[in-house]
Structure 1
Amino acid sequence: MAPIRIAMLSGPRNISTTMMRSFENRDDCVVADEPFYACYLKASGANHPLREETLAAQSSDWKTVAAQLNAREGAAYSFEKHISFHFAFAPDFDWLQGARIFHLIRDPRAMVASYKNKLDNVTPIIDSYRIQRRLYEQKPAPVIDAADVLRAPAATLRALCTALGMPFSEKMLSWPAGPRDSDGAWAPHWYDAVNASTGFKPYKAHELRLSRDLEDIARACKSDYDFFHSRTLVI
């Protein structure tokens, strides 16, 4: 029997890889790390870190990747980590058919500040929120906020698993440090913090000072973030 697909839609710099670690540490779950990243890089021409390595490691054909996701084996569940702006050039969203979707959100100001530390162009965060909202309005799905996950990991993940129709596992709360074979080719640039982690870090509020341009980008995301935040799971 094919695994039940769990598709997480998230913007960048949003504990998305930490969530992937959490699901991968279950006994009954395999993971797919940003399977459409090469498709996005080819379609957009974006010059991201480790671009050539990513294009060499993944198919850049949308239909091929979708077929691969539907053909996975070896576990009861297959967790898919998707960065939402990767679908800015997708021909359709048929690849989501049959998957149980949930949305991971984060305060846009925090996302902008974190993304800027790794990449100069942070405007794709706007696309991520717009794409997620468009998908939600077509098909409502559970929503969790990264801040809630960090404040109360067990309670938030229990609520998420219930909403997704799957059992919660205590193994989702901690994992061994280090990289994984399932990590994407881009991991050396992005995954230093998560590779050092063994669980969810306690939530800390930070006073952020952003440039005017970055504030403008965060402000452009605010209405979509507020839309999602008002729909987060009750813990």
Structure 2
Amino acid sequence: MYSFAQRLDTKVFDEPLYAYYLRNSNAKAYHPGAKDILATMENDGNSVVDMMLKSNEKPVLFFKNMSHHLLNLDYSFMKQMTNVILTRDPLEMLPSFAKVIENPSLDDVGYKLHVDLIAYFETHQIKYVVLDGKNLLLNPEGVLRQLCEKIDIPFDHAMLSWAPSKREEDGIWEKYWYKSVHESSGFGVYESKSEIFPKHLNPLLLQCQSYYEQLKALALS
């Protein structure tokens, strides 16, 4: 989201379906800031989808959504979108996620839901692109150039860096989740995690790995 926000032709939206998801799941009991999110954002998922389809502020609109936020929605609206799936090795992603939500479930972290989305896209002939976080860090310009070509927009060098700060588009949950990106000024150098993997996440890791391997095989490099 921060990369696309640097483009002058682009407006970004940070997780517009978050309140809808919280309203319609038990996640409101364990997501930090849930009450504020529900009180300040649109709770009706169909209204959010309508907003996404009708927005026209800039030539490029970037909606950062989470796969679990699509809970029970009709996926057909995605035929009118350019769909990009971002994934990350669960060995690295799960410990980071668990610093905010200590005991996440398979649905919380999205790997199976991403694979299910791809099955839907392929069944309905909907184009999609998969990005892997490691590949993006190893070759940010190369991967972003490929991405821009596949989604039919020109590559912009501005996507490679930004000022370390918050953005006005950040959701009110930024104080729980965005510390690292607020301190960043671009895509960092990839480094393997040195922390010991938390034992309580091992069962979830086993659930995620086969789905991640499917996603990794489709990712731009």
Q: 1:137 to 1:124 in 2, by over 3 A?
A: same
Bigger mean CA offset, 210-219 vs 22-31: 210-219
1:90 paired to 2:90: no
Which residue of the partner structure matches residue 15 of structure 1?
none
Which residue of the partner structure matches residue 232 of structure 1?
219
- Tell whether the 8 Å contact from 1:175 to 1:198 is kept in structure 2 after alignment: yes
1:81 paired to 2:68: no
Which residue of the partner structure matches residue 179 of structure 1?
166
Under a length normalisation based on structure 2, what TM-score does the superposition of the two structures give?
0.91
1:58 paired to 2:45: no
- Tell whether the 8 Å contact from 1:125 to 1:221 is kept in structure 2 after alignment: no
Q: CA deviation at 1:45?
A: 2.8
Higher helix share: 2
**Count of residue pairs the alignment pairs up:** 214
1:129 to 111, 124, 140: 111
Please give the residue correspondences for 1:1-235 in structure 2 after superposition, counting only pairs within 5 Å: 20-46=1-27, 47=29, 48-87=31-70, 89-124=71-106, 128-140=110-122, 141-233=128-220, 235=221
- Name the SS for the 1:230 alignment partner: helix
- Tell whether the 8 Å contact from 1:126 to 1:217 is kept in structure 2 after alignment: no
Bigger mean CA offset, 64-73 vs 89-98: 89-98
Alpha-carbon RMSD across the aligned residues, in angstroms, is 1.5
- Flag structure 1 segments of 5+ consecutive residues without an equivalent: 1-19
The percentage of aligned residue pairs carrying the same residue is: 30
Question: Deviations for 1:163-222, whole angstroms, at most 9, x for unmatched residues?
Answer: 111111000001122111111111111111111111111100123422333011011011
The separation in 2 between residues aligned to 1:57 and 1:150, in whole angstroms, is 34
The separation in 2 between residues aligned to 1:79 and 1:186, in whole angstroms, is 18
Q: CA deviation at 1:124?
A: 4.2
The separation in 2 between residues aligned to 1:74 and 1:210, in whole angstroms, is 43
- Flag structure 2 segments of 5+ consecutive residues without an equivalent: 123-127
The separation in 2 between residues aligned to 1:125 and 1:63, in whole angstroms, is 21
